[in-house]
Amino acid sequence: MVGSIIWNVLFASVGALLTFVLSSPQNTMPTTSIKVGTVFTLFYLFMYLFRKAIGVSVVSVGKQNGGVPGEENSGVDFQETSEQETMESRLSDEEAKQTSDMVRALLNEDQ
């Protein structure tokens, strides 16, 4: 699954707050509370199902591209990595090394 439960709670809280603000002037407090609770629950479930669907689609794309370990390639042809992609990965590896060296130096300054 993509993300964390915080996304569910945040999305549901925003929906519940919006419902409370829009519902409280026209309705009594018990009616508003029921509406807020219902909207919170529905938005929470909607976000959960949305995250679940995204997670399933990511896994299925990974299987098609051979990204899932232990799975055989089911007749999918892979293209060779171009020289430009190789150069980009080398540059990003070099940048990552430089960044980690800078972080180590900063951490050592504090000690």
Give one DSSP letter per residue of 77-95, joined into a string.
--PPPPHHHHHHHHHHHHH
User: What span, in angstroms and rounded, lies between the C-alpha atoms of 44 and 86?
Assistant: 42
What mean pLDDT, rounded, does the chain reach? 80
What distances in angstroms separate CA 73 from CA 69, 81, 95, one per listed residue?
10, 17, 33
Q: How many CB atoms within 10 Å of residue 36?
A: 19
Residue-level pLDDT at 60: 74
Does residue 2 have a pLDDT over 50?
yes
CB 43 within 8 A of CB 63: no
Our measurement of the distance from residue 87's CA atom to the centroid of its chain's CA atoms, rounded to an integer in Å, reads 28
* pLDDT tens digits, one per residue of 9-49: 999 999 999 999 999 999 999 999 999 999 999 999 999 99
